[in-house]
Amino acid sequence: MHITENQARRLKKLADKLAEWVITVAGVTVIAAMFAMLALIVREAAPLFFPATQRMVGAVSLPDGVAARDVAALGVEGDLSEKMRVAGVILRDGRCGFARLDDGEPKGFALERLPEAPASAAILSVEVHDNDKFSVLWDDGTASLYAMEVRFPAGADGKPAAAHSFYPVFHHRPDQAEWTNSPPLSALLRGDAAEHRVVGVFADGSVAERRLAPGAGLLGRSKSVASQRTIRIGRGGAVTAAALSDDGMLYMGTNEGNLLSLDLSGDAEGEAASEVTPVFRDRRAISALVFLNGGYAVAVGDASGAVSVWFPRRENGEFRLRRSVDWPTGGGGVKAMAVSGRDRGLVALDDAGRLRWFYSTTGNELLEIPASRSRPELPALNARADNLATLHADGAIVFSRLDSSYPEAGWAGFFKRLLYEGYETAAYVWQSTGSDASEPKLSLMPLVWGSVKAAVFALLFATPIALAAAMYLSQFAAPAFRARLKPAVEMLAAVPSVVIGFIAALWLAPLMERYLRFFAGASQYDQRNSLVIAIAMGFAVIPTVFSLAEDAISAVPPALSAASLALGASKWQTVIRVVVPTASPGIFTAVMLGFGRAVGETMIVLMAAGNTPIISLSPFNGMRTLSANIAVEMPEAPVGGTLYRTLFLCALILFVLTLAINTAAEVFRHRLRNRYGKV
Amino acid sequence: MTLSMAKKNLGKALLGVSCLFASACLAGDALPAYRQQSGVAGSVNSVGSDTLNNLMAYWGEAFMAIYPNVAVQVEGKGSATAPPALAAGAAQVGPMSRPMKGSEIDDFEKARGFKPTAVAVAIDCVAVYVNKDNPIKGLSLPQVDAVFSSTRKLNHADVTNWGQLGLTGEWANRNISMYGRNAASGTYAFFKEKSMGNGDYKNSVKEQPGSAAVVNGIAGDKAGIGYSGIGYRTSEVRALPIAAKDGAAFVEPEFKNAIDGSYPLSRLLYVYIPKDPAQPLPAATLEFMKFILSKEGQELVVRDGYGPLPADVLREQLQLLGAK
């Protein structure tokens, strides 16, 4: 077929149009993809900084003839689809019942006597632990542990139904009538029928412990060992509140502002170490005491309405009970507290009816839960701490939905020095956790430090070598040689960083340890340390810096150096006084871009830096960088969890860091060019 | 279930194991052999514990040899990876070297509508390894705590060099170089709970992605010390005997000591399965679990260096599967 000139022109135009269109789309796509990625990262990380929220869901009234003051204890549970909520109630007369809220619809409830309750006995006190365990002390001297079990099995119609009960775990009946004649303030029961501990706390500061333990060894099941002891501290005032951890640490608060501690963890016959810690100078009474999740830190509510958190901290080699945070007075004494079973959150209710929600790790007050209806008298949380029930003076049980929204995160969690449980001083610590019992520690400072340290060390190694090589090749080497060598050096960039990391970790690190350990002297020498990283990552950075610097130096007009040489300057003088200053904007950009490359590098640091999140200047310590942290922690981060979002935040910081470095490089380059580059 | 209860249950399970093991041995009770079923096909994906990784691979190979139509795939990056994979349906079995956390059970239940089932599959001693050239006899738990922990809740003076643990000569001034697992590891969590009273690791503990990496690190580092499951023992490292208290007798990490409770760092290893109470397990998953709990499966446990479960316990575990 013959194509006319006209047709050919049109075809050319069409091709032109098409090419323009394709190229435009590609260009815009790249830019759009970058913004989309940034938006995604921001979207995933942003909820970390959202405030906690609460929402009242509904209320159920106590049955007729039962008043709020008849209620001894309260428990709450909700199903995961958030359709049903159940509150368990134990009355002082020994009856119990469940209030239900189905899809916001209140269901009245029937009362019945607690199973296996001693005949015609009434309840003196109830202690709640683990959100669903109730230690009940009866006025006939019996102590019983009840567990509240609430399940939401799927009903016939596929919707969840609720099955709930209080079931007795075990009962303890003291041999003599001692607990009937002068009943303890409260009885704290832990364990089950086969192995348990019963601790009676008396107002005068004496403690009676009864224990049943399976014997040690292979035949342990056949003979249980029962033991008992009575310990009298008798100092510090009258006991007003008590809390017992699973390990057997007993704290008692007194009316003179003292915290009595008694370590019941050792042998049942042995001495228990006791200590009196004055916690309030003004000797105000302690009105409520509860262990935070993990059983190490204890929250203290006092008569002024303030709440503080205390735990043992090492001071001069010995553990002493010390305060970590306190929240100032709310007005009126603290009446009751409820704790989360998943994190370090707690809810405190004071006499004025104010209900406040705190988080101990960060020291934040998450929220004040606004009072609804009449004054709240008793709060209860479920283990997940997403359901709150409050008993009100008018006999209503109000259900609220709580959303703590990543309380361990936020500005304080990421960037502030925090005093974590058991730590001697406040510190920046990254230690995402493996169990519910330990606090997640999410300070990003060690990671930012690690990224910057790794990059700085790499540049300290790479810059002199790369610049010297660039000067040599552009100014001193024979042109033919240069044409071959420059691509050769740039080939270095093609070596995958995983190969460099592999060599560094398995060959270089042990080699360096053999020769350099001596220089570390008495200080810590890690086999995978900053020097190894300097060399390994230096190699990854050299091609970037070299290539850009060489281009910059080569771009200096030959007329300049020729003039300098003609005026009698030596080759070296010419390079250092004329060529390098002229090329300095380019050289600077090269170094900064090398820095940006080093900050984002992952494989080498992941493999050869030891991944220890340490803030230290020592070249003999390792580090953990933001990028390696994402790679290390990714598999263990459940989607939507705190760690998951924190890793997105790490990505965001990396992004911003590289962006800032590259922008700074540009700005400086412009300045330097204005100064030196006017040729 | 709260952690404290889980802890107690673990202790009790081990105690139960001890009693049962004694009776089983006395009675000469044989382990149930595996019987092949017909028409088993499909795939079994395993995501979870690195401690159990090799063992899962052994089980998978042996199982595929019995059922050529079944594909078993094993991925082991750490116990923490199991719950999300089970919840998302990406895995049919989730090996874990620790019990699930309350929050993990919550997330699973939210996704699937029922709670996961924990099946005990083997006994493990978490060993404290040192380089084979290290002359140290053994360590007490408070010493282990002082080496690894920044909070030192067992209240031993801080330990940073081998001299402080009683070594002399060239070892006296050598700094201790600690190797550990990353937080995804169940062993990491277990070690934190048992040997440091839920304290914190020093930030100078080098976190390794797998048990083998810990052992390799120690093999190549004279001053090294680290912890991992006993199944990863090699000739390049030595598993130290451990004393529960300062001054108490050292106890070797052996299964008889795990069973009678004298070795303080012993535990059960689990495989979690998403068993819907209203439905039977898929045939391939059910048979795989039955194989694990059979004589053949438990022989592989021994081959991988872990401790087999006694017959009575195996039967209890079989009942959890809902199989006849």
Q: For residue range A278-305, what is the model confidence (pLDDT) as tens digits?
A: 888 888 899 999 999 988 999 999 998 8
Strands A224-232 and A441-442: unpaired
Residue B16 — very low, low, confident or very high, per pLDDT cuts 50/70/90? very low
Out of 3.40.50.2300, 3.90.1170.50, 3.20.20.140, 2.130.10.10, the CATH code matching A53-216+223-431 is 2.130.10.10
Three-class SS of chain B? CCHHHHHHHHHHHHHHHHHHHHHHHHHCCCCCCCCCCCCCCEEEEEEECCCCHHHHHHHHHHHHHHCCCEEEEEEECCHHHHHHHHHHCCCCEEEECCCCCHHHHHHHHHHHCCCCEEEEEEEEEEEEEEECCCCCCCEEHHHHHHHHECCCCCCCCCCCEHHHHCCCHHHCCCECEEEEECCCCHHHHHHHHHHHCCCCECCCCEEECCHHHHHHHHHCCCCEEEEEEHHHCCCCEEEECEECCCCCCCECCCHHHHHCCCCCCEEEEEEEECCCCCCCCCHHHHHHHHHHCCHHHHHHHHHCCCECCCHHHHHHHHHHCCCC
At how many degrees (to 10) do helices A445-471 and A530-554 cross? 40
Q: Are residues B311 and B195 in the same domain?
A: no
Is A613 in Cβ contact with B184 (below 8 Å)? no
**B227, B242, B266 — which closes off a domain?**
B266
Contacts of B189 in chain A (CB under 8 A): 433-435
Residues above pLDDT 90, as percent of chain B: 42
C-beta separation of B83 from B107 below 8 A: yes
The overall longest dimension of chain B from CA atoms, in Å, is 66
User: What does the pLDDT read at residue A522?
Assistant: 66
Where along chain A do its domains lie? 5-49, 53-216+223-431, 444-676
Q: Are residues B83 and B105 in the same domain?
A: yes
Residue of A nearest to B105 (CA): A384
Strands A186-191 and A387-392: unpaired
Q: Are residues B30 and B86 in the same domain?
A: yes
Q: Determine contact: A217 vs chain B, CB below 8 A.
A: yes
Is B19 in Cβ contact with A219 (below 8 Å)? yes
User: What does the pLDDT read at residue B19?
Assistant: 41
Is A436 in Cβ contact with B103 (below 8 Å)? yes
Q: Are residues B12 and B103 in the same domain?
A: yes
Q: Determine contact: B279 vs chain A, CB below 8 A.
A: no
Contacts of B151 in chain A (CB under 8 A): 314, 421-423
CB environment A46-55: b (16+ within 10 A), e (fewer): eebeeebebe
Structure-block tokens of residue A15? 């091709």
End-to-end CA distance of chain B: 27
Residue B25 — very low, low, confident or very high, per pLDDT cuts 50/70/90? very low
Q: Are residues B171 and B281 in the same domain?
A: no
Q: Determine contact: B192 vs chain A, CB below 8 A.
A: yes
Q: Are residues B8 and B83 in the same domain?
A: yes
Is A220 in Cβ contact with B102 (below 8 Å)? no
Q: Residue A175: helix, strand or coil by DSSP?
A: coil
* A300 alpha carbon, distance to own chain's centre: 23
Q: What's the gap in Å between the CA of B284 and the closest CA on chain A?
A: 26
Q: Are residues B208 and B271 in the same domain?
A: no
Nearest to A635 among B2, B184, B217 (CB): B184
- In chain A, residues 418-437 whose CB comes closer than 8 Å to chain B: 420-423, 429-437
- Which residues are A214's β-sheet partners? A224
Q: Are residues B143 and B225 in the same domain?
A: yes
Residues above pLDDT 70, as percent of chain B: 90
C-beta separation of A587 from A580 below 8 A: yes
Q: Are residues B110 and B148 in the same domain?
A: no
Residue B26 clears pLDDT 80, i.e. is over it: no
Residue of A nearest to B263 (CA): A217
C-beta separation of A230 from A271 below 8 A: no
Structure-block tokens of residue A280? 């309030």
User: What does the pLDDT read at residue A219?
Assistant: 34
Percent of chain A that is helix, strand, coil (3-state, to 5): 35, 30, 35
Domain CATH number, residue B240:
3.40.190.10
| Mean pLDDT confidence for B251-266 | 87
Nearest to A434 among B192, B220, B259 (CB): B192
Lowest mean pLDDT across A667-671, B79-83, B89-93, B104-108: A667-671
Residue B8 clears pLDDT 60, i.e. is over it: no
Q: Are residues B132 and B243 in the same domain?
A: yes
Topology of the domain covering A444-676: MetI-like fold (1.10.3720)
Is B106 in Cβ contact with A612 (below 8 Å)? no
Q: What's the gap in Å between the CA of A191 and the closest CA on chain B?
A: 8
Structure-block tokens of residue A475? 């100014």
CA distance A152 to A85: 10
C-beta separation of A123 from A137 below 8 A: yes
Q: Are residues B133 and B260 in the same domain?
A: yes
Is A441 in Cβ contact with B81 (below 8 Å)? no
Q: Of the candidates A401, A467, A347, A440, which has an alpha carbon nearest to the alpha carbon of residue A78?
A: A401
**B266, B286, B303 — which closes off a domain?**
B266
Structure-block tokens of residue A479? 């042109």
Is B98 in Cβ contact with A526 (below 8 Å)? no
- In chain B, residues 16-35 whose CB comes closer than 8 Å to chain A: 16, 18-19, 22
For chain A, give the number of residues.
Answer: 679
What values do phi and psi take at A85, rounded to 5?
A: -135, 140
Query: What does the CA dihedral A326, A330, A334, A337 come to, rounded to 10 degrees?
Result: -70
- Measured CA to CA in angstroms, residue B303 lies from A430, A548, B22, B172, B308 at distances of 38, 57, 22, 38, 10
Q: What's the gap in Å between the CA of B37 and the closest CA on chain A?
A: 32
Q: Determine contact: A296 vs chain B, CB below 8 A.
A: yes
Nearest to B198 among A216, A342, A438 (CB): A438
Q: Are residues B131 and B36 in the same domain?
A: no
Is B107 in Cβ contact with A220 (below 8 Å)? no
Q: What's the gap in Å between the CA of B221 and the closest CA on chain A?
A: 8
C-beta separation of A277 from A259 below 8 A: yes
Is A342 in Cβ contact with B4 (below 8 Å)? no
Contacts of A219 in chain B (CB under 8 A): 19, 22
Give every residue of chain A whose pLDDT is below 70, as ranges.
Answer: 1, 155-160, 175-177, 214-224, 268-270, 330, 433-434, 522, 676-679
Nearest to A246 among B4, B15, B77 (CB): B4
The ipTM of this complex is 0.75
Print the domain residue range for B245.
125-266
Q: Of the candidates A601, A616, A582, which has an alpha carbon nearest to the alpha carbon of residue A543?
A: A601
Query: What does the CA dihedral A9, A11, A14, A15 come to, rounded to 10 degrees?
Result: -110
Nearest to A431 among B110, B200, B209 (CB): B200
CA angle (A304, A308, A309) in 5-degree steps: 160
Domain count within chain B? 2
Q: Of the candidates A539, A396, A387, which has an alpha carbon nearest to the alpha carbon of residue A461?
A: A539
Is A446 in Cβ contact with B15 (below 8 Å)? no
Is B199 in Cβ contact with A422 (below 8 Å)? yes
Q: Determine contact: B155 vs chain A, CB below 8 A.
A: yes
Q: Give the gyration radius of chain B's Cα atoms.
A: 20
